[in-house]
Structure 1
Amino acid sequence: MDSVSRGHKLAAIVDFAVPVCMANYLGIDLGTSSLKALLLSDRHEVLDVAEVPLAVYTPHTGWSEQSAEDWWAACCEALDALASRQVAGMAAVRSIGLSGQMHGAVLLDDEDVVLRRAILWNDGRSAEDCAVLSRCLPDLPQIAGNLAMPGFTAPKLLWVAREEPAIFARTRSVLLPKDWLRLKLCGEKISDMSDAAGTLWLDVAKRDWSDELLQATGMQRAQMPQLVEGSAVGGILRPELAHRWGLRERLLMAGGAGDNAASAVGIGAVSPGDGFVSLGTSGVLFVCTPQYLSAPHSAVHAFCHALPGVWHQMGVILSAANCLRWVTGLLGRDSERALLDEVAMLDDTARQQAPIFLPYLNGERTPHNDAAASGVLFGLRSTHAPAAIGYAVIEGVAFALLDCLQALTNSGTAVGALGLVGGGARSAEWAQLLADVLEREIHVYADSAHAAAVGAARLAWLADGGNTLTVCLKPDVSARLVPNLENTGRLRGRHARFARLYAALKNEFDVENRKS
């Protein structure tokens, strides 16, 4: 039976009266746990946010799927909510931008009917297909900027061809999640460079589909959407939908971005050297680069940014804030905040004696590229309290992000101070731990929980003629956390144990995976 995880309840953040003369921009962010619709003014004010939870289906261990129709229902619910609360604000909208979870495969037939539930970014079923793809096309990492990993889109199509050949034969086009929403909103099959870079079908340096990569998975250009830059026009809203939501006719849509590139735009990380850490369902260490820099040997991602002529590198871990959600439920705590409050009470001795946690609940990407990796709590004692286990979990996520940082710096990328975004950014405890582990200054922003949705709205603003210098501003910093030198030595020793533990268990993960 499918298991279902649900996000938070529909919530409004602010409900201001909006002057008719104001220009507003609408950002729609299709996440994994929820869809957000955000109304942004041309004075950089977030006027309102509507959020609708989404179900994730796990029919088998290592599988992760969502229904595209659930996305559309959530989108309509969120925009209906904004339309009812923000009549003048919606009438002042000049453009719409999209952000979305990357890599998901939405398969359509020749009448654009969805053929199966979308296979998501954190789905590990195509590990075998990645190995086949890598053997058949050794040049893939140089063209795509990335290793073949189960999370990416192309290997999913190999799996479908192998396990569901009738569906593969009927597939006439493949869209990424946010771009399927675009199809529903404007009737066009269009994607942007940043999201397309996560398919393994894009020549990332050339910012164009690669015929060689497509052919390796039995696909062709005719099955791919048109490509535009994230800040360019990418469609016109359907008239009947504009009428439904009180929006002007002929409302343009921007190309938009994958969620991480959108978050970067949302916090003004658009110039070489700008970077951030994201503590969402997954974890990301993101740094802008002045040109295409490929370092696939350490599972570093090289992607196009959402703006023309800009690229970025990322280290990605598949489990971050969801590790905290998992352990909160496991320990029977009322909330993640309650558990973190207990963690904050631990002294240095208790932290030093806490278990070591490998946060590989869904396998891992950077630097291991190991779909078989599993979560581990090592060194448990009868004396360990729930707070020690909670600490081990957030420390383990921080250690995995340190592995990402080391992979990026080893590839020659300079990484300075880092912003912090995502749900985990609300925790001062976790933010300080990241500063201590990464040995970098961490900037916490006044409001970064909706960075991807703000980035989508800003891309809409740019598509409407806005200037990058005035649109992509950095938000106010509410806290600057510097590394605590008294903690860094202790944490280095624990990270060394963390690294040795993965190395010692790698072959055991492989055995476990073969049995499943």
Structure 2
Amino acid sequence: MIAIGVDCGTSGLKAVLVEAGGGLIAAATRAYRPDRPRPLWSEQDPEAWVAAMIGALGELRSAAPEAFAGAEAIGFSGQMHGAVLIGRDGKPLRPAILHNDGRAHREAAELWERHRPLADVVGVKPMAGFVAPKLIWLARHEPSIFAAIAHVIQPKDYLRFRLTGEIASDMSDAAGTWWLDERARAWSIDALAASGVDPACAPRLVEGSDSVGSLTPAVADALGLQRRLVVAAGGGDAAVGAVGIGATRPGDAFISLGTASQMIVVSDAYRAAPEKIVHSFAHALPRRWYRMAAMLNGAGALAFVGRLVGVDAGALEREAAENYRGPNETTFLPYLSGERTPHDDPHARGVVFGLTEAAARVDLTRAAMEGVALTLAEARACLAATGDAPQGFDLIGGGARSALWTRMIAAAVDAPITRRQGGEVGPAFGAARLAVLAATGAAPETICSAPPIADVTEPEPGLVDAFAAARERFMRLYRVLRPEFAAAAKDQRAADSS
């Protein structure tokens, strides 16, 4: 069987064409970027995702026309926590509000203050990036838009809707709304009510490996796909990335290093830990859950440096890898989009500390990469506080291409890091696997095995010590600056209202 996987990320869309056994036939990528019309805002036009999907699928068709035409199933993955608001005419009412948007921080604080027990039901403390506080913000600031909402769905659900005309979502993406009863795997009427949202706006729920509708004839013919193609629900990128690397058993652990980053441990039972800023969410497969430390910043920090200095991020990484010996006096707080775990601070900002006249471009690059590795060390500490203590991690996402970053992460978290073949397209590959499950009804363990190991990076003792020292400085710097971040945000609000 041949399947297609589509992953709608924050900075681009990936599509893969794979054999049921896991062999990659073709891959395609289309880039885009979030729009930031105001401070704390992060939005995207859903039609940008559609255009990227059509372009990527066209590239797969050109690269392998026979295999593409013979594909029997398609699955989806996507950035989580996005609020895609659909009107009664089936069209988006406004740009989607993304996971790294911080405008609803007051609404999130109110939900926590007034409905704290719900965090144990929905798996996490309410934070600005989740859908629930965004809807409260919309009701207050864009009431005409709020009143016109017919459906609230996630980014990958919108792509599937455009292909099938069916409105639905899966458990793993619904987990990121702050409305899902994670243990029951059903919408929480209490959480919806706390957000002032009509339950009719919440899509019907299915498992990620379930079939959801079929391509409309016009879409199938235009794309060059079979009309009988099976369309799988898919899931949020964190859970679908887990499916892609075979992280489906209790205790399996991995790090996803994309534009944002996550550290995830799989479980066969639901256990909440909202006070640790750890997310306890439904997996993309039935009867499975996972706990996650979620950071809003990851490989996007290196891309930011590349834009700043006008050099491709790949070239910067290669330059940084030459004779790398560990952190020096330059420290980079990579909080370009605020931060979730462990700080829950939408006002946090990127900071470069310790520059001297001797500093060079490579110091900025290395410091940005080190800062991301240090956030992962903090993530591991949060998960350890909940009782999760894996002995090593797989690494997936675009950042997994970097051997230097892999060395840094191994040292920062003091654990072996395993890279697997195809790990850089993990969520797209996982989406294709969910498509195969939907088409065949096979047991997940027969399809979702771990791909072959590409390499294993052991923590280097000297680097472990250097990162431990750097982490102390990193943590102190954030603690000192947190009040300044809040003060700057207050000043900005005053300027905006004047």
TM-score with structure 2 setting the length: 0.96
Aligned equivalents of 2:317, 2:339: Cα separation in 1: 24
Alignment of 1:398-413 (within 5 A): 398-413=373-388
1:392 partnered with 2:370: no
Cα pair distance change 1:497/1:71, threshold 3 Å: same
Q: 1:504 aligns with which of 471, 480, 487?
A: 480
Alpha-carbon displacement from aligned partner over 1:429-457 (angstroms, at most 9, x marks no partner)? 11011111101100012221111111000
> Does 2:347 correspond to 1:366?
no
**Residues 347 and 312 of structure 1: is their aligned pair in 2 closer, same or farther, counting only changes over 3 Å?**
closer
Q: Which one of the candidate residues 238, 247, 250 is aligned to 2:228?
A: 250
What is the one-letter code of the residue matched to 2:332?
F
In the alignment, is residue 304 of structure 1 matched against residue 282 of structure 2? yes
Match of 2:389 among 411, 414, 418: 414
3-state SS of 2:176 partner? coil
Among 413, 417, 423, the alignment partner of 2:398 is 423
Which residue is equivalent to 1:203?
Answer: 181
Distance (whole Å) between structure 2 residues aligned to residue 487 and residue 47 of structure 1: 38
Q: Is residue 318 of structure 2 the alignment partner of residue 341 of structure 1?
A: yes
Q: 2:160 aligns with which of 182, 191, 205?
A: 182
**Partner amino acid, structure 1, of 2:351:** V
1:471 and 1:89 mapped to 2: Cα distance?
20
Cα distance in 2 for residues equivalent to 1:505 and 1:442: 31
- Contact kept? 1:96, 1:460, Cα under 8 Å: yes
* Aligned counterpart for 1:321 among listed residues 299, 322, 327: 299
In 2, the alpha carbon distance for the partners of 1:78 and 1:391 equals: 32
Report the alpha carbon displacement of residue 345 of structure 1 after superposing the two structures with TM. Answer: 3.2
1:152-231 matched pairs, under 5 angstroms: 152-231=130-209
Cα displacement (A) at 1:270: 0.7
Residue identity opposite 1:383 in structure 2: A
The DSSP-based 3-state class of the residue aligned with 1:57 is coil
Moved more, 110-119 or 452-461: 110-119
Letter paired with 1:496: E
Deviation of 1:77 (Å): 2.0
Counterpart secondary structure, 2:374: helix
Q: How far apart, in 1, do the equivalents of 2:285 and 2:468 lie?
A: 37
Q: Give 1:488's aligned residue.
A: 464
Amino acid at match of 1:416: Q
Whole-Å separation in 2 of the counterparts to 1:230 and 1:151: 22
Are 2:46 and 2:96, in contact at CA under 8 Å, matched by a contact in 1?
Answer: yes
Letter in 2 for 1:341: R
Which of residues 429, 451, 468 in structure 2 aligns to 1:475? 451
Other structure's SS at 2:442 match:
coil
Aligned-partner SS, 1:174: strand
The AA in structure 1 aligned to 2:450 is K
What are structure 2's unaligned runs of at least 5 residues?
493-498
| Cα 1:507–1:75 shift into 2, 3 Å | same
d(CA) in 2 for partners of 1:289, 1:347: 37
In structure 2, what residue type is equivalent to 1:395?
Answer: E
> 2:495 aligns to what?
none
Tell me the distance in 1 between the aligned counterparts of 2:292 and 2:32: 26
Deviations 1:349-372 (A, max 9, x none): xx4533121111111000110111
Q: Percent identity?
A: 42
2:44 and 2:360 map into 1 onto residues whose CA distance is 36
Report the 3-state secondary structure (helix = DSSP H, G, I; strand = E; otherwise coil) of the residue aligned with 1:98.
strand
Aligned CA RMSD, in angstroms, stands at 1.4
Report the alpha carbon displacement of residue 35 of structure 1 after superposing the two structures with TM.
1.6
Larger CA deviation: 417-426 vs 195-204: 417-426
Q: Distance between the aligned counterparts of 1:259 and 1:93, measured in 2?
A: 22
Q: Which amino acid aligns with 1:200?
A: W
User: What corresponds to 1:434 in structure 2?
Assistant: 409
In structure 2, the CA distance between the partners of 1:347 and 1:196, relative to structure 1 (3 Å rule), is closer
Following TM superposition, by how much is the alpha carbon of 1:347 offset from its aligned partner in structure 2, in angstroms? 5.6
Counterpart AA for 2:198: Q
What are the equivalent positions in structure 2 for 1:29-48 lying under 5 Å apart?
29-48=7-26
Tell me the distance in 1 between the aligned counterparts of 2:394 and 2:40. 31
Is contact 1:273–1:416 with CA below 8 Å preserved after alignment?
Answer: no
**Alpha-carbon deviations, 1:305-361, whole Å to 9, x = none?**
0010100011111111111111123234x322322233223464xx45331211111
Asked whether the equivalents of residues 332 and 350 of structure 2 are also in contact (C-alpha less than 8 Å), the reply is: yes
Show structure 1 runs of 4+ deviating over 4 A: none
Q: Which amino acid aligns with 2:475?
A: A
For residues 156-214 of structure 1, what are the alpha-carbon distances to aligned partners after superposition, in whole Å with 9 as ceiling and x for unaligned? 11111111011111112111111111111111111000000000010111110000000
Which letter maps to 1:291? A
**1:114 corresponds to which residue?**
92
Give the TM-score normalised by the residue count of structure 1. Answer: 0.92
Distance in 2, Cα, partners of 1:189 & 1:138 = 30
Structure 1 segment 246-285 matched on structure 2, within 5 A = 246-285=224-263
Confirm whether residue 51 of structure 1 aligns to residue 26 of structure 2.
no
Given that 1:346 and 1:388 are in contact with CA atoms closer than 8 Å, whether structure 2 keeps it comes out as: no
The match for 2:212 among 234, 240, 243 is: 234
Hey, what's the Cα distance between the residues in 2 that align with 1:145 and 1:242? 38
- Count of aligned residue pairs for this structure pair: 491
Structure 1: 5+ residue runs without aligned partners? 1-22
Amino acid of the residue matched to residue 336 of structure 1?
A
Cα 1:479–1:138 change in 2 (3 A) is same
What is the CA–CA distance in structure 2 between the aligned matches of 1:32 and 1:98, rounded to whole Å? 14
Show the counterpart of 2:496: none
Query: Conserved in 2, the CA contact under 8 Å of 1:65 and 1:118?
Result: yes
Q: Which moved more, 1:205-214 or 1:469-478?
A: 469-478
In 2, Cα distance between the equivalents of 1:220 and 1:210? 12
Secondary structure of 1:363's aligned partner: coil
CA distance in 2, matches of 1:160, 1:479: 47
How far the C-alpha of 1:48 sits from its partner, in A, is: 1.1
Partner Cα separation in structure 2 for residue 75 and residue 356 of structure 1: 38
Change (3 A) 1:220 1:492: same
Give the AA of the match of 1:397: V
Asked if the contact 1:230/1:256 (under 8 Å) is kept, the reply is yes
What SS does the corresponding residue of 1:475 show, helix, strand or coil?
A: coil
Give the partner amino acid of 1:337: G
